[in-house]
A and B are shown apart, each in its own frame.
Chain A
Amino acid sequence: MDVRKKLEILADAAKYDASCASSGGKRKSTPGGLGSVEGMGICHSYTPDGRCVSLLKILLTNFCIYDCQYCINRISSDTPRARFTPEEVVRLTLDFYKRNYIEGLFLSSGVLKSPDYTMEQLVQVARTLREQHQFQGYIHLKAVPGASQELIDQAGTYADRLSANIELPTDADLSKLAPEKSFAVTGETMREIHVRVEQSKAERQESPKAPRFAPAGQSTQMLVGATPTPDAVILDTAHQLYTRYRLKRVYYSAYSPIPLVDARLPAKAPPLVREHRLYQADWLLRFYGFHVGELLPPEQPDLSLDMDPKLAWALRRREAFPVDVNRAPREMLLRVPGLGVRTVDRLLRIRKWHKLTLEDLARLRVPLNRVKPFIVTADHRPTALLDSPRLPERVRPSAEQLSLFSTAVVARTGEL
């Protein structure tokens, strides 16, 4: 099979992986070397699904010994199979990088023979790129859950980011759909990565020459909608992963093979909207000081599909409003629907110098119609709107606006 055919099969097989970011970390190019990593990643192209292409995202192989029911590469699937040699991946990465098509490599793989055997192959690609070719571009490697500590250690010295996939939101879901996987094994791999990342950070405090370990940290991915598990449980799991292993990102990926949708997804919910709401809620947990229980009270364990989670929260907690933008503390401003982190920080800076008016807000591109019922400014005080039963209609962005506010953009920025 020629490289082109392999590329078609193994890129196609990798497209279900939600992660494609190349941000975080820093790598200077070396004289005679190739590539650099400078903070923000660069999206080199966009496909007609609105997703960016920043990395060469492929599988080393889509052969796999496991039989996870949601995965196209499971052993019992009849998908066409292919396998790259490590050298072929190295060549493709360098050739694409030199033409400025990509920021680097995202390499994942089906599990061949054993987790260790597979991890060894992934490490070999990264080692060849770094050591033989002085490649300083971005490398994201999958950490195969269950691979030995030694191999994970090596992977982290070459890669910018590692990710072990949690796959499904609960252990019970896993035993149903992915019997060979478990929270215990994946958690152990995440813990190893976390320990090494922290160690390397501490060592670099002592001496800046100490080797880096996965400088862009670790992330994971969770499939959503393949089981009836509600959003509250999904976000709880995510929250635990963030606190326990200091993950940089949890990626939510709507269950994609559409055929079983009737049996396993809520009949009327377009799955992309649910994915989008989860990203918004995830952002609220990490950057806006919300708790899972606030966003999803026990009687309502799933996020609303027609309203963003912050707005839904505010409408349940009308007594907390209006908020005076000239006086309220940062934490409270962050809870106003329509105000994002960046806007809030700007407001705080401006209000040191003069009293904020609606005009200031308009200049900062705040959606005034949505925000007005919730705030007080020097020249505005909402009039009884908060008690109106028609408030939700008034502040909810229309369907047309939502589409402009595309899923891809919000998944990346998460700003509400």
Chain B
Amino acid sequence: MDVGQDLGSFRSVARGLLARGVPPEQVLFEEARRRQASLLETESVADVAPGPSLSVPSAFLELAERVACHRSPERWALLYRVLWRLTHGERRLLEVVSDADVYRLTSLEKAVQRDAHKMKAFVRFRRVEREGQEHFVAWHRPDHLIVPYVAPFFARRFPSMRWSILTPDACVHWDLERLTFGEGVPRSEAPEGDALEELWSAYYVSTFNPARLNVRAMRAEMPKKHWATLPEARLIPELVRKAPERTASMVAPRLEPSEASRFLPASRELPALAAAARGCRACPLHERASQTVFGEGPAPAEVMLVGEQPGDTEDREGRPFLGPAGQLLDEVLERVGLRREALYVTNAVKHFGWTGEEKQRLHAKPGRREVLACKAWLEAEVAAVRPRMIVCLGATAAQAFLGPGFRINLSRGQVFETPWAKAWMATFHPSALLRMPDERSRAEARAHFEEDLRRVVDTLRALPA
């Protein structure tokens, strides 16, 4: 059966088939290559009431109108099959949303509605003058054939403007009185730029709160394919890259001084710092720990690794990253071609914090208070080591720099510019990789970890000396 790309032509075909009692298994729908705009040449949905013999629930007609906009060629066969079932004993079929046919139909519908919603949201008009008149023109690239379906919305919203929306499939124009449709055009037909775009961009930048960076949520709602036509989208990479720096400057001037700053020595060389840190009493952790575990490594160093806090083994030996987590770290460092001896390795908190019995000391994650108390040591280390890149292992380390709003699972592996180093990144803590109970997620996280450390190598290579 030949149908056009529009609902009107399907309706007349389907009506004929139903009248002759042809079951869906015997029909093959072939779509003739016709333009989307032809919808307006044929009868529209509203003025064709179904014949008395085939009364169909009105919900089906509304559904069909939307499904018809979908680009998938299967839609006609699917619509006919459901129509057949509705008229052959399953009148309430549409209520069974878990039925395979109904489910498929509603997923097509959902895709169309989402696309229509995105068109209403992401069309950006640009003002041009044509023969002395103000005209607003937009270029948009929808997924489906929705121009005629969505156009009335724009006519209701902007009745007093002359406007056009151009897409690769179809165009629509409003002349203050009626809508006219035309064939699709390439993007080059659309005007570039609008004086207002600079103001809009200024607004976009100011309304964004860098302390709540959540790129994944943004991408889910604003798919990248639409970025090309959104004037504000070209600002996004820079906003993301600079977010930690802006957050830091929002926080920094008002931060209370770190408790540990009382213990800092006059000389800020690493050996002097390490010696002074042995006597640190900035927070209660020193009471139960056997010794201070200060950072170790050369100064200057290209890379500074920051973990959370020394564990049981580290506390006894007095050096960072020795236990099982340290072994895993060494293994992965070696695999990506980084030498531990060339790195400066330290922790956000320098004393082991634990609960339980002396025989079996249980690691207790440091709180915000301990992290802030210890921060003066970390900052002094950064100043002495002058790393080109800082790599934070785990949330506690990352939050020592960027505050408690920072989330590993949202921003893991992204390279940021910060006041502390040209390049800054956070990834999993190796002990988190050891602790994950589920084998699959453990393997996945481990792969991510390695990939992140590889990115460290790449980033260093690309950084200007």
Interface residues of A, Cβ cutoff 8 Å to B: 3-4, 7-9, 11-12, 14-16, 28-36, 38, 42-53, 56-57, 92, 95-96, 98-101, 134, 256-263, 265, 267-272, 346, 349-350, 352-354, 359-360, 363-364, 393, 398-400, 402-404, 406-409
Which single residue of chain A is at the shortest CB-CB distance from B155? A29
Query: CA–CA, A110 to B438, complex, Å?
Result: 52
B228 within 8 A of A: no
Which single residue of chain B is at the shortest CB-CB distance from A50? B217
Chain B contacts for A45, CB-based, 8 A: 121-122, 204, 222, 230, 232
- The smallest C-beta distance from A309 to any residue of chain B, in angstroms, reads 21
Interface residues of B, Cβ cutoff 8 Å to A: 92, 95-98, 103, 117, 120-127, 136, 138, 153, 156-161, 194, 196, 198-200, 202-218, 220-222, 230, 232, 236, 239-240, 243, 247, 250-251, 254-256, 365, 367-369, 372, 403-405, 407, 409-410, 437-438, 441
Which single residue of chain B is at the shortest CB-CB distance from A41? B121
Chain B contacts for A48, CB-based, 8 A: 208, 210, 213-215, 218, 236, 239-240, 243
Q: A15-B209, A34-B160, A403-B409 are in contact. Are A259 and B123 (CB under 8 A)?
A: no
Contact A96 B196 (CB under 8 A): yes
- The smallest C-beta distance from A323 to any residue of chain B, in angstroms, reads 18
Contact A403 B407 (CB under 8 A): yes
Query: CA–CA, A35 to B161, complex, Å?
Result: 10
Chain A contacts for B247, CB-based, 8 A: 258
Q: What are 18 residue pairs bridging A and B, where the CB atoms are less than 8 Å apart in the complex?
A: A12-B206, A15-B206, A15-B207, A45-B204, A46-B221, A47-B208, A49-B209, A95-B199, A96-B196, A99-B136, A262-B372, A271-B405, A272-B212, A352-B95, A363-B97, A363-B98, A403-B407, A406-B214
Contact A268 B161 (CB under 8 A): no
Q: A4-B198, A409-B217 are in contact. Are A349 and B97 (CB under 8 A)?
A: yes
Contact B215 A50 (CB under 8 A): yes
Q: A49-B214, A99-B136, A259-B251 are in contact. Are A270 and B95 (CB under 8 A)?
A: no
Query: CA–CA, A390 to B103, complex, Å?
Result: 35
Contact A32 B96 (CB under 8 A): no
Query: CA–CA, A34 to B160, complex, Å?
Result: 6
Which single residue of chain B is at the shortest CB-CB distance from A270? B404
A12-B206, A38-B156, A49-B212 known; 18 other A-B pairs, CB under 8 Å?
A: A12-B207, A28-B156, A31-B159, A31-B160, A43-B221, A49-B217, A50-B217, A99-B125, A99-B136, A99-B194, A257-B254, A259-B251, A260-B254, A272-B212, A272-B405, A353-B95, A402-B409, A407-B214
Contact B96 A268 (CB under 8 A): no
Contact B222 A258 (CB under 8 A): no
Contact A47 B97 (CB under 8 A): no
- The smallest C-beta distance from A140 to any residue of chain B, in angstroms, reads 15
Contact B98 A99 (CB under 8 A): no
Contact A262 B209 (CB under 8 A): no
Q: Which of the residues A7, A98, A268, A269 comes within 8 Å of B136, measured between beta carbons?
A: A98
Contact A408 B214 (CB under 8 A): yes
Q: Which of the residues A92, A349, A350 comes within 8 Å of B199, measured between beta carbons?
A: A92
Contact B218 A47 (CB under 8 A): yes
Query: CA–CA, A38 to B240, complex, Å?
Result: 33
Query: CA–CA, A145 to B437, complex, Å?
Result: 52
Q: Which 8 A-B pairs give the minimum distances between C-beta atoms? A: A50-B217, A267-B367, A50-B214, A47-B208, A11-B206, A259-B254, A406-B217, A49-B212
Query: CA–CA, A260 to B372, complex, Å?
Result: 11
Contact B207 A47 (CB under 8 A): yes
Query: CA–CA, A92 to B198, complex, Å?
Result: 12
Which single residue of chain B is at the shortest CB-CB distance from A44? B121
Chain A contacts for B254, CB-based, 8 A: 257, 259-260
Query: CA–CA, A218 to B218, complex, Å?
Result: 28
Query: CA–CA, A268 to B317, complex, Å?
Result: 28
Contact A49 B98 (CB under 8 A): no
Contact B203 A7 (CB under 8 A): yes
Query: CA–CA, A57 to B218, complex, Å?
Result: 18
Q: Which of B138, B158, B210, B239 has the most CB of A within 10 A?
A: B158
Chain B contacts for A409, CB-based, 8 A: 217, 220
Which single residue of chain B is at the shortest CB-CB distance from A20? B207
Contact B95 A99 (CB under 8 A): no
Q: A11-B207, A47-B207, A259-B254 are in contact. Are A100 and B368 (CB under 8 A)?
A: no
- The smallest C-beta distance from B193 to any residue of chain A, in angstroms, reads 12
Q: A29-B159, A258-B404, A262-B372 are in contact. Are A47 and B216 (CB under 8 A)?
A: no
Which single residue of chain A is at the shortest CB-CB distance from B212? A49
Contact A398 B200 (CB under 8 A): no
Q: A99-B124, A99-B194, A262-B368 are in contact. Are A50 and B218 (CB under 8 A)?
A: yes
Contact A353 B217 (CB under 8 A): no
Chain A contacts for B372, CB-based, 8 A: 262
Q: Which of the residues B117, B157, B239, B405 comes within 8 Å of A258, measured between beta carbons?
A: B405
Contact B98 A14 (CB under 8 A): no
Which single residue of chain A is at the shortest CB-CB distance from B156? A36
Query: CA–CA, A271 to B217, complex, Å?
Result: 18
Which single residue of chain A is at the shortest CB-CB distance from B404? A270
Q: A48-B213, A98-B161 are in contact. Are A268 and B125 (CB under 8 A)?
A: no
Query: CA–CA, A289 to B441, complex, Å?
Result: 36
Contact A100 B404 (CB under 8 A): no
Query: CA–CA, A11 to B204, complex, Å?
Result: 9
Contact B158 A98 (CB under 8 A): yes
Q: Which of the residues A42, A360, A393 comes within 8 Å of B121, measured between beta carbons?
A: A42
Which single residue of chain B is at the shortest CB-CB distance from A393? B437
Q: Which of the residues A49, A98, A263, A352 comes within 8 Å of B210, measured between beta carbons?
A: A49
Q: A8-B202, A46-B221 are in contact. Are A256 and B209 (CB under 8 A)?
A: yes
Q: Which of A7, A15, A38, A50 has the most CB of B within 10 A?
A: A50
Contact B441 A398 (CB under 8 A): yes
Chain A contacts for B153, CB-based, 8 A: 38
